[in-house]
Amino acid sequence: MKQSAHSTLEATTPGRSRPSPNLLVAHLSHFVSLSKDDISFLETLCEKQERVQKAVNLAEEGDAPSRGFAICRGLACRYRDMPDGRRQILTFLMPGDFFGLHAFLMKSIDYSIIAMTPTRLARIEQAQLIEIVEHHPRIVTALWCHTMQEAALLRERVVRLGRGNAHIRVAYLFCEFLWRYRAVGLGEDDTLWMPLTQAEIADTLGLTPVHVNRVLQDFRRDGVITLAQRRLTLHRVDRLQELAQLNQDYLHLTGIPRAGERLLERLAPSQ
Partner DNA sequence: CGAGGAATTGAGTAGGTTCAAGGCCGGTGG
Partner DNA sequence: CCACCGGCCTTGAACCTACTCAATTCCTCG
DSSP one-letter string for 15-77: T-SS--SSHHHHHHHTTSPPPHHHHHHHHHHTTSPEEE-TT-EEE-TTPPP--EEEEEES-EE
158 is a site residue for a second copy (CB under 8 A): yes
CB 16 within 8 A of CB 255: no
- Residue 83 CB, shortest distance to a second copy, in Å, is 5
User: How far apart are the C-alpha atoms of 102 and 25, rounded to whole Å?
Assistant: 19
205 is a site residue for a second copy (CB under 8 A): yes
HSE-up (13 A, CA, CB side) for residue 1: 0
Stretch that binds a second copy, among 43-51, 212-220, 231-239, 247-255 (CB under 8 A): 247-255
User: Which residues of the chain form contacts with DNA (CB under 7 A)?
Assistant: 165-167, 197-199, 206-211, 213-214, 216-217, 229
- Residue 199 CB, shortest distance to DNA, in Å, is 5
User: How far apart are the C-alpha atoms of 30 and 19, rounded to whole Å?
Assistant: 9
- In sequence order, the 6+-apart residues with CB closer than 8 A to the CB of 61 are 80, 81, 109, 110, 111, 112
Closer residue to DNA, CB minimum distance, 155 or 220: 220
Percent of residues in the chain assigned helix, strand, coil, to nearest 5: 40, 20, 40
Can you tell me which of 16, 73, 102, 120 binds a second copy, judged by CB under 8 A?
A: 102
- Each residue 31-70 as x (binds a second copy by CB under 8 A) or -, in order, gives x----------------------------xxx-xx-----
Stretch that binds a second copy, among 35-43, 145-153, 193-201, 222-230 (CB under 8 A): 145-153
User: How far apart are the C-alpha atoms of 253 and 255, rounded to whole Å?
Assistant: 6
Number of helical H runs and strand E runs in the chain:
9, 11
User: Residue 210 touches which of DNA, a second copy, none (CB < 5 to 8 A by kind)?
Assistant: DNA
User: Residue 195 touches which of DNA, a second copy, none (CB < 5 to 8 A by kind)?
Assistant: none
- Residue 252 CB, shortest distance to a second copy, in Å, is 5
CA 152 → CA 45, 123, 148, 251, distances in Å? 27, 25, 6, 7
User: Residue 64 touches which of DNA, a second copy, none (CB < 5 to 8 A by kind)?
Assistant: a second copy
Using CB under 8 A, list all residues that contact a second copy: 1-3, 5, 31, 60-62, 64-65, 78, 80-83, 86-88, 90, 102, 104-108, 110-111, 126, 129-130, 133-134, 141, 144-145, 147-148, 150-152, 154-159, 161-163, 204-206, 245, 247, 249-250, 252, 254-257, 259-260, 263, 266-267
